[in-house]
Structure 1
Amino acid sequence: MRGKSIILLLLCIFFSGFSVQAESKSSMTELDQLADEALKLTRFGRLEEAKNIMERFAELFSEKGVTERQFTMDELRIVTAAHHDALKALTSSDINTNERVKKVTAFRLASDAIISEYQPLWSQMERPIMNAFADVKNAALEGDENLYNSHLNEFLSTYSVIQPSIKIDIPIGKVQMLDSKIAYIDQYRSTFSEQKWMKELEGLETDLKNLFTDINKDDTDPSIWWVMFMTGGIIVSTLSYVSWRKYRGQKLQQQKRKDLND
């Protein structure tokens, strides 16, 4: 009986945990779908509908993030800021369509970053980011200052789309170092010269490549596998023990019947 009680206790713990996890996953899925729908509506120019979806997202996000504490303070702050910028873009008449879509895309990627465990959507932005930066570098090699400034502005605009997301997925030290290099090139662009900037640009290009390389690596926490192994081991050991007790009891009963018959 004691063995059966242990099994029942373990199963109750396992399935109660599974139920909570399933409910949490359902909420995360709804948040993900709302953010995705808001972006699609924005691309089609259905701004009022996109605004309503964004407001629904804010309600659910506040419920899960603040009330149930499913997100860290940094995640709450970053996604809230991205949501604010996206909502402002949807309601402003002073912003062009391209910039509006970029603001909502930045929000979409940030919301995905807090939900996705592996391969976040922003990692798919590698080609647009690197192509935009290649244009900056090529303009610098040509020594064309006007073209350089134009391409630099485009790169900064494209990079801003993933900036909230990388603050969620990448260690803050690396993000701050990358942002400081970008800010330096932007701030001192008026002193542009091919010889002076090429070393800075090559260093920044390497950092951008590493940004996407690092996020594509398998960063599964080994402790997760250890916990799973231990939990599975406990259940298997308990079942084995109960089976052995049952087998031993049956053998003893058979032996007693044999002794009585003799």
Structure 2
Amino acid sequence: MKRKSFICIMILMMLFPYVVFSQTTDEWKKLEQISDEALQLAKNEKFEEAKQVLTHFSEEFFKLGAQEQLKSIDELRVLTVTHENALKTVTASALPAEERIEHVARFRLVIDAIRSDHQPLWSEMENSMMAAFYQMKKAVENRDRQAFRASFQQFLNQYEMIEPSVKIDVKPERFKRVEANIELLEAPAFSQFSPDTQMKQLLQMEQDLQALFDDVKKDEVDPSLWWVIISTGSIIILTLSYVGWQKYRGEKEKNKLHEKE
């Protein structure tokens, strides 16, 4: 009886981390679905309904205690800011519909960045962003300032869309380099540089951008899961050792009885 009780306890201990992880995943899946619903409503220009869904998100977020499952205060700050901006602008009739949709989309990407361990949605914008960037390089090669400003603005609009999510998923030194490059390109002094100096700066920016996207392509195990892996493995070994020892003791007792007989 004791042996069965011990094994049951071991099994429960093994399953507990997965039960907790499953509950956490389900809660964030629900929040992700709510944010996605808000985005779909905004895309269909049902802005009042989108606002109601965004308000519902806040209620569910605190009801589920999701703030306690965030990895850092930075994640909470980014989530709060993007949610407030989406809520404030989604029904602002003075703003173009496209801009209101962008704010809701930015919030949606943040929720995905928090929930996704690999290949977040914002990383799928790599091709379009790099296409705009290569247009910038081409404009510098052709010494076409007007084309450069147009392609730079296109690139900037796309980067602003993913910037909050980038700050969640990427190391600070990575996105700070990209932002430093953007500040340099925005400065009036950049247009006074020689084409060679401009191209040199763009090549450096290209490397920093590529590093930004490469960071989220790495298929690494979440460090928070290592405890689960190690502890679960230890419990399995302990359980098997206990069962093996009991079996060995039983066989030994049986052999003694045979010897006495």
TM bin (shorter chain): 0.7 to 0.9
User: Between the two proteins, what is the percent identity of the paired residues?
Assistant: 37
Supply the distance in 1 between the matched residues of 2:10 and 2:121 (Cα, whole angstroms).
37
AA of the residue aligned to 2:122: W
Equivalent position amino acid for 1:202 in 2:
L
1:162-201 matches, within 5 Å, as 162-188=162-188, 191-193=191-193, 194-201=195-202
Q: CA deviation at 1:204?
A: 0.8
- Cα offset, 1:234, TM superposition: 2.9
Name the SS for the 1:91 alignment partner. Answer: coil
Cα 1:237/1:254, change in 2 over 3 Å: same
Q: What letter is aligned with 1:115?
A: R
Tell whether the 8 Å contact from 2:14 to 2:235 is kept in structure 1 after alignment: no
**Residues 1:184 and 1:218: Cα distance change in structure 2 (over 3 Å):** same
| Distance in structure 2 (CA, Å) of the matches to 1:109 and 1:74 | 16
Amino acid in the other structure paired with 1:117:
D
Mapping of 1:96-111 within 5 angstroms?
96-111=96-111
Inter-CA distance 98–178: structure 2 relative to 1 (3 Å threshold): same
1:37 equivalenced with 2:58 (yes/no): no
After superposing the two structures, state which structure 1 stretch, 223-232 or 8-17, moved more. 223-232
TM-score (norm 2): 0.87
Q: Which runs of 5+ in 1 are unaligned?
A: none
Q: Which segment drifts farther, 106-115 or 237-246?
A: 237-246
Query: 1:60 corresponds to which letter in structure 2?
Result: E
The reply to whether residue 88 of structure 1 matches residue 88 of structure 2 is: yes
* Deviation for aligned residue 1:225: 4.7
The CA distance in 2 between the partners of 1:144 and 1:245, in whole Å, is 82
In the TM superposition, residue 50 of structure 1 has moved relative to its aligned partner by 1.3
2:66 is the counterpart of 1:57: no
Query: 1:138 is matched with which residue?
Result: 138
Cα distance between partner residues in 1 of 2:227 and 2:76: 30
Give the match for residue 207 of structure 1.
Answer: 208
Distance 1:122 1:96 in 2: 23
Q: Supply the AA of the counterpart residue of 2:237.
A: V
**Any unmatched runs of 5+ in structure 2?**
none
Secondary structure of the structure 2 residue equivalent to 1:177: helix
How far apart, CA to CA, are the structure 1 residues paired with 2:182 and 2:216? Answer: 20
Normalization by structure 1: what TM-score? 0.87
Equivalent residues of 2:174, 2:211 under 8 A apart: no
Aligned residues: 259
Residue identity opposite 1:252 in structure 2: E
Q: Deviations over 1:73-123 (max 9, x none)?
A: 110001111112222331212322332222222111111011011111111
Tell me if the contact between 1:4 and 1:242 (Cα under 8 Å) persists in the aligned partners.
no
CA RMSD of aligned residues (A): 2.5
Structure 1 counterpart of 2:116: 116
Aligned to 2:23: 23
CA shift in 2, pair 1:173/1:74, >3 Å = same
1:236 matched residue in structure 2: 237
1:99 and 1:89, CA in 2 relative to 1: closer, same or farther beyond 3 A?
A: same
Please give the alpha-carbon distance, in whole angstroms, between the structure 1 residues aligned to 2:227 and 2:18.
18
Contact 2:175 2:212 in 1 (8 A): no
CA distance in 2, matches of 1:241, 1:48: 62
DSSP-derived class of the 1:7 partner: helix
